[in-house]
Structure 1
C-alpha cells in the first residue's frame, strides 16, 4: 500500500534502526565475550553465548516468515522488537551462565524477526523497481555493524562494564519501536491456513543438528557426537522434505523453486554466506601468522573487505532501482569476487599488506553488488501471500551456508596445522605473540604452513563464486516492474 512521503521516511528510518540493532548485537558481544564468560566463571561455556544466539536465530527464520504471511508482518515485527529489548535487559542482569545463555537464545529468536521482517515490510511497501534501493539501505546495517561493532564493544566493556553491551539496546530499541508503531502500516495477511507444525519441528531439528555438527567438526574428542548430529540432521531433513511435498500449506513451499528466478536467486544468495562471510573471521589470524603483522594491522584487511561491500551494496541498489535492470550486477559481482579470491591464493608471502587489502576490497565490492539486490529480485518473483516465506528461505540458506562453511574452514585449519606445526611448538596453543617471539626460521615455517592451509581454502571459495557465476548466467533477464506492491505469479513471470 502506498504511504505518504513522511510516513515512508519514518518507516525506512525505523527499519534501518532495528536492522542495525540486530546486526550490531553480535559484533559488539564478540569483543566482550571473554570478559563476560570470565566474570561469570564459565569460560568453558563461552562459545554457547554465541552458538545459542545463532542457533535460535537460524532455526526460527522459516517459522517467522510463514507466521508473517499468516498474521501480517507488522505484528511479528513489533513483537520481535519488544522481545529483543526485554531479552537484552535480561542479558545484562544475568548473574550466571545459564541465565545468560537462555536470555541470548530468546534474543536470537527475536533478532531473526528484526532482520526478516525489515526486508518483508520493505517488500510490501515498495514496488519491485523501488525495492533494491531501499533494500540496500536496510542491508547497509550489516557491514556498518561489522566495522564499528568490535570497537564499540571494547569501549563499552572497558568504561561502562559488560552489562551495558546488552542494556544499550534498550533505549535505541524503544525509539525504534515508537517509530515502528507510527510508521509500519497494517499489511493484510495471506489466507488463513493450518500451520505446518510437523514441517516446523522437522526443519528445526535438522537445522539445529546441522549447525551443532558443523561447529564441532574440528574437535577429534567429539567425533562420535558430530557424526550422530550429522545423521540426525540428514534424517530430519528427509522427514521435512517428505512432509513438505504432502502438506496442504507447507512451511517452505517447494513448488516456488520451480521458478527459475527464485531457484537461481536462492543459490546466489547462499554464495554470500559460503563464499565470504565464512572466511572473514579467519583473515586477521591468517595475516598475523602468514604476514607476521600485529593484531591491529591485521584488522585492516577485513575492514577493507567490508567497506568494499558497503559501497557496492548501496551503489548497485541505487542503479538497479534507477534502471530496472538487475542481472548484470550478480554476474559482474560473482566474477569480481571469484577473481579476487583466486588472486589471494597466488599472492606471495612477501607481498606488502596493501596488496591483499586491495584484493579483498575487490571481493567485498563483488559480493556487495548482489548481497541485498538478490533478495529484492527473489521477492519480486514470489506471490504476495508468500513474501515472508520466500524472504525467510533466502536468508536461511545464506545463514546456514555461512555457519556451516565457517565451521568447516575452522576444522580444516585446526586439523591441518596440527600436522604442519614446527617441531617443539604445540599447534593447539600457537598464538601470534608466541610465533613472533620465535627465531626467524621458525616464523617462516609457521607462515608457510598457514599459507599452505589457506591457499586451497581460497581456491575452494573462488570455485564457490564460480557456481555463483553460473547461477547468474541462468538468472532470467528482464526489468523490475514499476507496479506498486508485490507481484502476482502471472505478473512476476512477465516482469522478471
Structure 2
C-alpha cells in the first residue's frame, strides 16, 4: 500500500536525520583525532581509530543489504541505529586505544546500516518515479556532513572534550530512533531462506585483506613487504573462492545476476567511477592547494567546499527533474562529461593562478558527480527484482567504497613518490608541512608550488580519463523511463524514435 503524503514526509525527515547522523560521524572524528590519540597515549596508533571503523562499515555492507532482503529493511534499520547509539556511548567511555578501536568496529557496523538502509527503504516504499527526488533529499545529508563535520568536531572538542564527539550521537540518535519507529513502515522480508554464511565470511576476509593492502600501499609503499604480499594474495584467492561460492548457493550474499543485468551493471560501473574519480582525490586537494597556491589551511578548505556545494545543488536539481519526467539516462551522460572536463582543467592549471580558478574547476567535478550519484541507485533498484533491493543497493555502495579505497592508496603513493623525488634539498620530505614551506624563501616556495603542480597534473588527468570512461558506460545505459506504478515493471522502455 502506498504511503500517504504526510507519512512520506515524516519518513523523509526520519531517514534524512539518520543519514546525516551516519555521514557526520565519518567527518566529525577527523578533526579530533590528534586530541583523542594524544589523550589515550597512542599517537602512533592513530590510524586504527579510522581503519577499524572503515573496515567494519565496508565489510558489512553486502551482509546488511542481504539481511534486509531476507528479514525486512525496517528491522535491520532499527537494529543498526540502536547499535550505533550504544557503540557511540562506549566510544566515549574508552580508556585506551584498544577499547576505542573495538567500539569503533561496532559503530562502523551500525554506520553501514545507517548508510544503506535509508536508500533501501526508499526503494521499497516508493514508486520508481518518486525515488530520484526522495533519494536526492536524503542524499543531501552526505555533502552537508562534509561541510559542517570538521567544524563541528573542532568546536565540540574545544568546548566539551573529545568524548562528546561520540556522545553527541546519543541524544540525536534517540530522536532519530523515535522518528524511525513511527515513520518507517513494516517491510516484509523473505523469511525461511537460508543466509549465505560461507559467502559472507569469505567476502569479509577478502574485503578486509584488500582494504589493508591498499592502506599499507598508501602509507608505506612497497616497504610494507611480506604483510602486503600476504594481504594481496588473500584478497585475490578470496575473490576466486567467493565467486565459486556465489555460483552454487541459492541465496548469494551478492547475487551475480546483478552483473548480467545491463542496467544494473552500468550503474555499478558508474558507482565505481565516483569512488575512483572523486572520493580518492578530494582528501589530497587541500594540501595541494596549500602548496601550489601558497594558502593557509583555512583558505584551502574553500576548494573542497566548492566541490561539495556543487554536488549538493546538482543532486537536488537532477533528482527533481528525473522524478518529474521519468527520464534518467541523460544525467549520467552529462554528469560524467562535466566532471571529466573539471578534472582535465585541474590537470592543466599552472601554479600561481587565483584561487577561484581551481575552485571553479572542482565545482564542476562536484556538479557532474552530483548529477547522477543518487539517480543510479534509483535506476539500479528499479531494474532489479524487488526481492533484491537491499543487495543491489549494497553492491553499488561496496564497489564505490572499494574503488575509493584502492584509488586513494594509489593516488597517495604517487604523490608521495613524486614529491620526494623532486623536493628541494633544503626541505626534508619526512617532515614536510605547508607551514615549513611557507617559512622558506620565495624561491623555494615557488619551486615547491611548481613541483606539486607537476605531480598532481597527471593524477588529475588520469581521474579525468576515469570519468571519460564513465561517459562511455553511461552511453551504454539502456534508454527508458521510470515507472509510476509501484508493483509494475519498473523500467518502461522509451518510445521508438521517429525516422
TM range (shorter): over 0.9
Aligned residues: 492
- In the aligned structure 2, how far is the partner of 1:201 from the partner of 1:415? 36
1:310-459 matches, within 5 Å, as 310-459=312-461
What is the DSSP-based 3-state SS (H/G/I as helix, E as strand, rest coil) of the residue aligned with 1:340? helix
| Equivalent residues of 1:56, 1:108 under 8 A apart | yes
- In the aligned structure 2, how far is the partner of 1:270 from the partner of 1:126? 25
Aligned to 1:245: 247
1:26-65 matches, within 5 Å, as 26-65=26-65
Aligned to 1:102: 102
Aligned to 2:217: 217
- In the aligned structure 2, how far is the partner of 1:315 from the partner of 1:466? 23
Query: Are 2:291 and 1:292 aligned?
Result: no
Moved over 6 A (4+): none
Which deviates more from structure 2 when the two are superposed, residues 229-238 or residues 410-419?
A: 410-419
Aligned to 1:188: 188
| Equivalent residues of 2:482, 2:490 under 8 A apart | no
In the TM superposition, residue 224 of structure 1 has moved relative to its aligned partner by: 2.3
Which deviates more from structure 2 when the two are superposed, residues 53-62 or residues 397-406?
A: 397-406
1:115-264 matches, within 5 Å, as 115-190=115-190, 192-218=192-218, 219-220=220-221, 221-264=223-266
In the TM superposition, residue 403 of structure 1 has moved relative to its aligned partner by: 1.4
In the TM superposition, residue 493 of structure 1 has moved relative to its aligned partner by: 5.7
- In the aligned structure 1, how far is the partner of 2:227 from the partner of 2:449? 33
- In the aligned structure 2, how far is the partner of 1:212 from the partner of 1:257? 26
In the TM superposition, residue 473 of structure 1 has moved relative to its aligned partner by: 0.1
Cα deviations by residue, 1:29-79 (Å, 9 ceiling, x for unpaired):
000000000000000111110111000000000000010111000000000
- In the aligned structure 2, how far is the partner of 1:437 from the partner of 1:115? 43
| Equivalent residues of 2:128, 2:490 under 8 A apart | no
- In the aligned structure 2, how far is the partner of 1:492 from the partner of 1:146? 33
- In the aligned structure 1, how far is the partner of 2:172 from the partner of 2:2? 27
Aligned to 2:89: 89
Aligned pair partner of 2:477 in 468, 475, 478: 475
| Equivalent residues of 1:129, 1:320 under 8 A apart | yes
Aligned pair partner of 2:271 in 266, 269, 272: 269
| Equivalent residues of 2:196, 2:253 under 8 A apart | yes
Cα deviations by residue, 1:362-382 (Å, 9 ceiling, x for unpaired):
110000000111100000001
In the TM superposition, residue 300 of structure 1 has moved relative to its aligned partner by: 0.4
In the TM superposition, residue 4 of structure 1 has moved relative to its aligned partner by: 2.1
| Equivalent residues of 2:22, 2:111 under 8 A apart | yes
- In the aligned structure 1, how far is the partner of 2:26 from the partner of 2:120? 22
In the TM superposition, residue 287 of structure 1 has moved relative to its aligned partner by: 0.6
Kindly report the root-mean-square deviation, in angstroms, between the aligned alpha carbons of the 2 structures: 1.1
- In the aligned structure 2, how far is the partner of 1:185 from the partner of 1:34? 42
- In the aligned structure 2, how far is the partner of 1:282 from the partner of 1:327? 31
In the TM superposition, residue 492 of structure 1 has moved relative to its aligned partner by: 3.8
| Equivalent residues of 1:85, 1:173 under 8 A apart | yes
TM-score (norm 1): 0.98
In the TM superposition, residue 192 of structure 1 has moved relative to its aligned partner by: 2.8
In the TM superposition, residue 495 of structure 1 has moved relative to its aligned partner by: 4.8
- In the aligned structure 1, how far is the partner of 2:205 from the partner of 2:374? 28
What is the DSSP-based 3-state SS (H/G/I as helix, E as strand, rest coil) of the residue aligned with 1:217? helix
- In the aligned structure 2, how far is the partner of 1:45 from the partner of 1:414? 21
- In the aligned structure 2, how far is the partner of 1:46 from the partner of 1:72? 37
Aligned pair partner of 2:308 in 306, 309, 315: 306
- In the aligned structure 2, how far is the partner of 1:226 from the partner of 1:447? 33
What is the DSSP-based 3-state SS (H/G/I as helix, E as strand, rest coil) of the residue aligned with 1:95? coil
Structure 2: gaps (5+ residues): 495-499
What is the DSSP-based 3-state SS (H/G/I as helix, E as strand, rest coil) of the residue aligned with 1:190? coil
